[in-house]
Structure formats: structure tokens, C-alpha cells
Structure 1
């Protein structure tokens, strides 16, 4: 390829650019937001929220950027392993999984390191500009129309064009690609929705020596409970750069957290011991709570289209955006990038229709969707649609989750699925279910 244009310069766009830099003479990233030192821009209000890089995301990130984990840690990120990673179900601490590793860092911090690595590639260019439309000739995408920044703003109409052999949609949940395709006479990809009505809020706290041996802690309701404080207050904390704790609290429908710092602290004190300790011992940074409302999970099924213009693909939230409480988003983007690499390495030509990529990406998206939607549909306010085999998956998942509290082998299998190292269907393995059934006989201490 001579040139690739990536529309969007956040995490997914950077991952795509890294992969495509091995296959193109030139990769141009168009990012509409000026990225400041804290990495925040109006186009992604959820960037300030706590993000998780699961074990598989950790592995894939190191695959594409060798040595980046050491760089992150050297610059202040925290690496949690073994007992330093604590998962609670209905306020009961689960048995640890020794080989689990998670990076504690904010999303802007991780993105800044990726952006530095990608920008250093000799054939990659980052531009502050906003994609406005596709250029399509016949059945081939030929490039992108864009508007450039002027005094911090973008013109209302395109003022430039970039020719390209491949165009990548990394514009996130609010991607306009579907409407562009329809405008040019192409069918929109089917859009699947699952309304979850989740609210979550993040605050930062000064970190000292109040929790020795703890890097991350997460509190999750068990199968028999809903997200209500009478049973458990759902939340998580992780040690991040700058000697801080990043704490997130979540709730559905009318129990969504607010921006009130005192309410935030009150809810923390109802949560598991690590969050209680931070609420009681640590000062909230700037006395500020940032909230975000996630209305629905979505996925766009490009692989099911009967026809698709050649030289076009999508990645990240532009392809699928699932309930963020499960922390799959960043990891899913790394897996989609690896799907792209696999497609290109097995003879796929980006100038052709990207069916091979979309089929591979659909496999990992459907796995993430299955995991999150099975759990979401257990909430009383989520009413469907219910996928085929839902009852079996829900039953098996519930049994395994409860057994994973006490049984290290079951917990290993459960965490492998949670961290996207294994497909959710592995939880229906008869041997695992038999072991889970035996674990029920173990009394809770």
C-alpha cells in the first residue's frame, strides 16, 4: 500500500496504525482533538474514567510495542500480580490467581506512551484534523475528505482530501461511517443494541502506604444479587502513576453515582475493605468526581453485509462498544489489531474488501459481547434480546462464579475468560462444571 488513513488517534487508532505501518509506505492518522499533556479532549469524555488493560491486552500491547510495559512502569505505572490483585464477590475475597498481571495506569498515560511510539515510526504522520466523508469511486474507497484545525476549531465543510489505499474507521462509538456509507449508496452495517443504563464515576486519591501489598481491588455482586448496596457496592480501585489511587463506583438506572464528593465517599465506605481504607485515609485529589453515563452496548456487524466497498475497515468502539464495567474495551482493540495483522499476513489485500478481517474481528467481538451481555441480562431492568443458549451460559457462568470464590482451579478458568485469554464457552466444559459443583461443598470462612 502507498497510503493508509486512520480516522481517529486514540487507543484503537494507534493500534491500527502500528499494525499497518508494517504494510504501507505511509500511514496518516487524523485526530480531531488537540491532545494536551493530560491527554483529554472533548471527543472522548470517558477518557478520564478508570480503564483496565486485561491480561490479554497486556500481552498484545507488549507484542506490538516490545518493552513498553517496562517503560510504563519506569514512568510511574504500577504492575499488579498475584495477591496484589484482589477480586471480591458479594464482599468475599476470592482465592488469588498467581500468574495474573495487570497494569495500573490511566488511559491518557497509556495512550501518551503509545502515541510517542507510533509517532516515532518513520512512515507514520499524526495530523490534527477531522474526517468529514469518504471518497468512493465505483466499489473502491479512494480516500478521505477532512477539515483542518484553525484556531482550535474545525471548519464546517471539508477543506482537504487525502487519497488512500485503505481507510480505517477508529472514530469511536459516535462514528459517522454508517451514515457516510448510506449517503454514497451503500448499505449500513446491522447495528445490535443492548440497553444497560449504567452510570459510573471516577475520583483520584493521594496514595501512601495505607494498603501495602494491594495494587488493585474490585468488588462485584454475585449471581443472586443486583447492583444495590444492601448486598454489595460495586466498585474498583487501582494504583496509578503519580502516587494516586484511581477509584471507580458504578450503578444502574436510578442508582447511578453523582458528582457529589461526599456521596462518593459514603458509597466507598459501604464497599469492600480496600475502598473503605482509601476513603478513610486518603485525600481526594481536587475534591473532584467525574461521571459518565453509558446507555447501551452496541456492535456493528460489517461481516454480515452482502456488499462492502473495498479498502475500508473499522476498529475499536467504532466496531463494538460493550459495557465498560467489565473492562474489555482497550483489550478488545488490541485483539482487533491482531486480527488485522492476521488477515494481512495470510494474503489479504487491503485494496480488496476486508471480509477476512471483519470475520476474525467478529469472533473476538462476539466473545466479548457474550461475556458482557450474559451478565447484563441478569439485571432486572435489562429485558433483552436474549441470545441463543443464554439460559445455559447464564447457569454455567453463575455456578462457576460462585465456585471461583473458593476453588483456585475454577477461579483460574473464570479469570482466563474475564481477561479474554479464553472464550466464554469454556465455562460450560463438563469437567469444569463438575469441579465447580464440588466447590459448593466448601464452606465460606
Structure 2
């Protein structure tokens, strides 16, 4: 049986493992933390932050782990839909979209369920240790060098292929360079982002609300305002996150966190700040830049090399694209192998498939990031018009359910951004803006 080593027991690594097992391949997961533990992992410093599993991510997660949503809800996660999901644009609540669903769950509980299913698979073995290099012979990957946990000993794990899912700090480019292979060109956009998450005891203070999200402000209108999100999660708790840039990055001060919640234009934040007791400490995390490694741009790749998750691209977490992208990368891997691709050959077709996912997420997140006054580019061609059109669309989506539904389809990665560039879509945007202009007081 062909054997694949997956580097990293992250969600990207576990999703890739499931996709490989679906093709009948034996898998070894190399993970410093192991997979049998529960609770927060040391290798995920942002694990305590509020995470979003977008609708397409949940669809793909159900594909690889059938019944996952049902099991999560049985363990306390909260599935919200339609009017239970409150989205706010510049303080105005957007019209609800029937059928729109989001599941409120901590990353810890989500990973626990996925890890538990993974280790029960007899075709999956776990190697506790840290990958420190590749063996490449005859133009393809033949093994992974692993440093045993708590030791300086390095062993080589033979394999037919490897999937790098070690995250944005992946050392794979330098490993390849050391073996005489080219490194992928990378795009970086400095965002200087900071975010902070706190938990609150949840009661009956917001009946009929499971998710609230204050969206990033439109360009030219209160760019310095906070972005925030909160979700009902397991344990009868609210998890709330505040996001801001540059000098406005939030701190760990609980009093500051509560003050900024009360200043949110979206009302549910103030309700939770005033009526719910904070549990534990405020956790903070920062991200200096968004990163995209263009693996598809390489003419030369060793055979049997795949990359998934944040090791390919990591985006501004405000848009919640990370976990969903990871599940979609697993689907790209499965599609590549189903077509009969040679596991030992360079995976150019796989990376072209992944590029479709990465470029769509990058377009959505960076267009909004470039509106921040401290972000200096690079600006894509036609940026000014694209930014203006994005603002028109955001305004229209507050009152037109059809426009908002298609906007959410793109945000939730159900559709590509091109869906927002059709004549029909912009006719509806124009009609919504005309209707708003005709209303007194607008």
C-alpha cells in the first residue's frame, strides 16, 4: 500500500489525512503534540481565539467526517441559521438570508472531534516528533526526517509522498532550497492586525441570536472602528473577538475589552458586555502580514510533494477563511488522486487546483485590507473602482436579501468572487441603492 506522511496534525493535516485514506493510502501523521491529547495544543497559539467555520467549510467537513455537525451540537456546539445570525454594516443590521447557517464551536472542541475520528482509523499512524527536512532522490520525495520529541535523534520515515500542513511558519521552502530545488515566490501584504477573544457566561440575554458580526467599515467611513464577532458556543458561553489594526490593536485588559464591546455599533455586543460575566482572561494574538506562497508558479517540483492549509496561504483571520480553505485543499487533493495521478510525479495539477481556492480567498480579504489607511499595497489594477463597487455592494446588501445572499455565498466560499461581477447582480445593486435613496432620512 502506498504510504504518505502528513506533516502537522492541524485541521489542514487531518483533513488531508482523511482525503488520502479515502483513496486507500496508508498515512503517518507527524505532529509534535501528538493526536491523542485533548484541549488546547501548544503548536496553535491562536487556538483560544474565536474561529469561524464558514458554510462551505462545514459542507466539506461533513464530506470528510460524516455527521460531524450533529456530533458537535450534541457536545454543546450551537447551530444558528437565518435570523439567528445578525450581520451589521456600519451599525445597520443587514437583512437576513434564509438558509444561511453557521455553527458556533471553539476550535478546541472541533479539533478534538476530528482528532478522535482520525486516530480510530487503522490506516493512520502517529509519529510524535518534529519534521526537520526531506529526503529527495531521483527527483521525488522518498522520506521525511523527523526529530524525536525530547531528543536530538533524527530518523528518516520512508514514504511515497508528503503533505506539508505545518502552517504559515512552514520550513518547506528552505528544505527544498537546501536540496537544490527552487523556493516558491511569495506575496505578502502587511496588515499589522491584532485581535483579542474573551468568553462570557451565556444565559437568556439575547433570545434568538447565535452569531453577531460587525463587519469591517467601508473605505472612507470610520476606517478606525473596530471589527467584532461573537458566537454562542459549547458550555453555555459566548466567545467574542475584537479586531483592530496598527495602534488600535486590542490588549489583554478586561476593562478595555468591555469598553470596546460597548462602543460597538452592533447592539448585541453591548448586551453581552453589560449582562454577562467574563470567564477567564482575555487572549490576544497578532498577525503582521497575509501570506500567499505561489507553489503553482514553479516549473520544477520534486515528485510526491503536496502542500495544504496555511502552508500555502494564510489570510487576515477577520474573514474566517483559514479552516474552510484547509478543507477545500483536502478536496483538491482527493480530486487530484481520483483522476489517477501518479503519486510519485510532480503535483502541478494539484497546485493549479488549489490556486483557484487560494486566489478567491486572497481577492476577498486583500480588497478589504487595502482600505485600511496603514496598508500600503501592493494595489491590484483597477483597485479604486473595485473598492468603490465593493462599498456599493455592501450598502445594497443591508436591504436587499438577494444581493446579501450572493454576497454571503462569496464570503462563505460557496461561490467565487466572479459571481459578484455579473450584469444581473449589479442591476440588483443599483436598484437597491435607488430604493434606499428614495427613503426619507437616508
TM-score range, shorter chain: over 0.9
Aligned match of 2:43: 43
Alpha-carbon contact 1:4-1:24 (below 8 Å) kept: no
- Post-superposition CA distance 1:108-139 (Å, at most 9, x none): 11011111111111201122211111011121
Question: Aligned to 1:180, what secondary structure does the other structure show?
Answer: helix
Aligned match of 2:160: 165
Alpha-carbon contact 1:11-1:111 (below 8 Å) kept: yes
Instruction: Give 1:360's match in structure 2, choosing from 347, 353, 357.
Output: 353
Aligned match of 2:276: 282
Aligned match of 1:242: 235
Aligned match of 1:11: 11
Query: How do residues 131-142 of structure 1 correspond to structure 2 at under 5 angstroms?
Result: 131-142=131-142
What is the CA distance between 1:37 and its match in structure 2? Answer: 5.7
Query: How do residues 250-399 of structure 1 correspond to structure 2 at under 5 angstroms?
Result: 250-271=243-264, 272-286=266-280, 288-399=281-392
- Post-superposition CA distance 1:23-80 (Å, at most 9, x none): 2442000111256865322322111111000010011111111111100100111001
Alpha-carbon contact 2:23-2:338 (below 8 Å) kept: no
Aligned match of 1:119: 119
Gap change, CA 1:27 and 1:37, over 3 Å in 2: closer
After superposing on structure 2, the runs of 4+ consecutive aligned residues of structure 1 that deviate more than 4 Å are 34-38
Question: Aligned to 1:368, what secondary structure does the other structure show?
Answer: helix
TM-score (norm 1): 0.95
- Post-superposition CA distance 1:185-237 (Å, at most 9, x none): 000011110111110000101111111100000002234324424xxx32110
Deviates more, 1:366-375 or 1:33-42: 33-42
What is the CA distance between 1:425 and its match in structure 2? Answer: 1.9
Alpha-carbon contact 1:80-1:216 (below 8 Å) kept: yes
Alpha-carbon separation, structure 2, partners of 1:392 and 1:335: 30
TM-score (norm 2): 0.96
Alpha-carbon separation, structure 1, partners of 2:93 and 2:63: 32
Alpha-carbon separation, structure 2, partners of 1:318 and 1:115: 20
Matched, 1:205 2:205: no
Alpha-carbon contact 2:23-2:334 (below 8 Å) kept: no
Matched, 1:58 2:54: no
Alpha-carbon separation, structure 1, partners of 2:24 and 2:131: 20
Question: Aligned to 1:296, what secondary structure does the other structure show?
Answer: strand
CA RMSD of aligned residues (A): 1.4
Gap change, CA 1:427 and 1:224, over 3 Å in 2: farther
Matched, 1:174 2:199: no
Matched, 1:21 2:21: yes
Alpha-carbon separation, structure 2, partners of 1:148 and 1:107: 27
Alpha-carbon separation, structure 2, partners of 1:170 and 1:416: 27
Alpha-carbon separation, structure 1, partners of 2:242 and 2:366: 20
Aligned match of 1:411: 404
- Post-superposition CA distance 1:258-282 (Å, at most 9, x none): 0000000000001121110110011
Alpha-carbon separation, structure 1, partners of 2:342 and 2:381: 34
Alpha-carbon separation, structure 2, partners of 1:388 and 1:56: 29
What is the CA distance between 1:159 and its match in structure 2? Answer: 2.2
Alpha-carbon separation, structure 1, partners of 2:343 and 2:105: 34
Question: Aligned to 2:46, what secondary structure does the other structure show?
Answer: helix
**Structure 2 spans left out of the alignment, 5+ residues:** none
Question: Aligned to 1:9, what secondary structure does the other structure show?
Answer: coil
